[in-house]
Structure 1
Amino acid sequence: MKIAVAGGTGMVGRHVVEVARERGHDVAVLSRGEGVDLLAATGLEQALAGVDVVVDVTSTQTQKSEESEAFFGTVTRNLLAAEAEAGVSHHVALSIVGIDAAPEGYYAGKALQERLVSEGAVSWTILRATQFHEFAEQIHGSFALGPVMVVPRMVSEPVAAREVGERLVELAVAAPVGRATDLGGPATLRMV
């Protein structure tokens, strides 16, 4: 099976690429480094030639609703249009557990992405996952105010990015299911 991974160089995407290759699949990474610009829709036609399924694990660094919606809206529309044109049979998107309860900021873009995928012409699967264990490292620099580290108060059931990548590949090679069962880690933890 030929799998294209949008966001294939990121935290989860690199695991999707690695796992898919380990399991014998042909993988195309949709990234600027590979000549694909998802925002401008350049290089998509060539990159999706012969692709059976697209796994979308794209992300952006913003907490502003407008920026998040602009990014996910543009990328998702571009992907879905190119997939329909290329005859891709399955679109798998990674989303976040709990976005319905707080549809603002970054989550606003993910909610828009889910809506576009579910209303699109390509058969689809959406996997919502809880926060990744790697999130603590990721936010380390993002919430620093000089020598002070601001740590958000939150309870989470973190899951390893590798485990999310494995589940996405399982879903990619299966028939589309719409909303897949949410994926979370085995324990509930507090950041503070």
Structure 2
Amino acid sequence: MELFGGGMAGDLWPRPGRVFAVSPQHTFHTFAEAIDDAFARWDRSHLHIFELWELGKTVTEMRFWDDPAPEKDVDADTVTIGELLKPGDQFGYIFDLGDRWKHQCVIADQDIDPVETLGILPAKPLPYWGWGTIPDPYGRLFDGDDGESPFPDPPKRWPWDGNAPDAEIITEHSPGQWTRTYALTRDLTDDDPE
């Protein structure tokens, strides 16, 4: 599954992605929760839908839907992945119908043995591989970011026991907008070894 973009991040490239272990018996609702966990979504007050393009159906939580269309809409709380999808199928997942965080999903052609691949038999869908930077849904880059304040200075030392080396490279990243990497210089004093 890859995150194409949405919200303040716009279109993402390269796209962050995740690979999941999902049973055909898992509901779309439990899969949506796993996707939102894997993409670091802490604000879960937004609706989400699965778009099953080949079937012309939408899977959503009907308890929040005012006017479902029975011929098209399917309940995510009761329908399982295996009832509607098969290996090789592609479909979409959208989190937050306002900001539209769009994902493209593909059911793998080959099954995995979860015990062999993960070391466990998970009770719910579980991400087990991934790549890329996950953008903050509101575009924040640091605690207290109001969109106008300048970047805070990087820490002079690591916050733990003082045995870690000083940071030498800092990367500032705004997904979908810019990345800036620079080397830190340090002032040598008489107490510093050269």
TM-score interval w.r.t. the shorter chain?
A: under 0.3
Which is richer in strand?
2
Which is richer in helix?
1
Structure 1 or 2, whichever has the larger Rg, is: 2
TM-score computed with the length of structure 2 as normaliser: 0.25
